[in-house]
Homo-oligomer: A and B are copies of this chain.
Amino acid sequence: MNFRTDLALERHESVPKSSIEGIELTVKECNGIKVTHITVTNEKGEKAIGKKMGRYITAELPGLERCADNMEQWSKVLADEIRSLIPKYGTVLVAGLGNRDITPDAIGPECISHLLATRHIKGEAGMPESLSGLRSVAGLVPGVLGNTGIETAEILKGVVSKIEPSAVIVIDALASRSLSRLGTTVQLCDTGVSPGSGVGNRRKEINSESLGVPVIAIGVPTVVDGITLALDLIEECGVDLAEEKRRRIVQSEKGMMVTPKEIDLTVKRAARLISLSVNRALQSDMSASDITAIVSTV
């Protein structure tokens, strides 16, 4: 690859169509959202796009600034896709990865603040009626290696071994190639995640193999890699960089994140949308407005 991205969709786009084997792709549109399903079916596909075998679902929203007016419909689309990836029964553990202290990396923890955690309230007295009959959900903000000294994968493995969920959903920030995707594209996949990849700190993989239960990763691009951005600008300027030169520059490590000025709003809006979508996926009998009302006050 001669640029950096965590999105299967962007990798797929960059590959000459003729040469792809082992990739299935379908596109549909729901409620104004373009939903692309990419399935990597074998090793040829893996090699072609540099992503592991599995399913990658990408939802492209028309623009987060219209989020307030479309929360209900957009979250429905995402909830349906999330539900298609998780088992029907059993506790689901939702983990918000990333560092609260770095705005574009805070999307995971921010989502957990809006999560409807219910695993503990079965049979508790005085619970609002609206909370009975709910699916069991647990939430966790594991923190980051630099502060805890513990790999996120280790923390999750430990907690999974105790509470034995039927699935784990991890939410994390991603890096995309393009600024226009920040906060407006959501990637769901069943192949797990390397925490910190959005901010360039790849850590131990968190996936179905390492945790022993299905792992669904929900990622939202909140940064563009600095080198990638610069190279794209070069090309926009009409400068023709040799493929080889571009690749060499991409491989140099610089660790710069590029974000828009209003990154706080981007993260806030995307976290609202993702957390509502997860809550709806898990509590399929509740309406969006009921969930919003409860989460904002429980």
Contacts and interface: CB of A to CB of B under 8 A. Distances in A.
A146 B116 CA distance: 10
A185 interface: no
Interface centre among A67, A143, A256 (most CB of B within 10 A): A256
Q: Helix, strand, loop or mixed for chain A's interface?
A: helix
A103 B67 CA distance: 23
A138 B120 contact: no
Contacts of A254: 179
A233 B258 CA distance: 14
Contact of A149 (B118, B128, B200, B293): B118
A33 interface: no
A153 to B, nearest CB: 9
Contact of A154 (B155, B162, B224): B162
A235 B73 CA distance: 46
Interface stretch (A4-12, A23-31, A237-245): A237-245
A98 to B, nearest CB: 11
A211 to B, nearest CB: 12
Interface string A150-183: 1100110111111100000000000000010000
A148 B226 contact: no
9 contacts: A66-B128, A68-B128, A117-B146, A117-B148, A120-B150, A138-B148, A150-B163, A226-B229, A256-B259
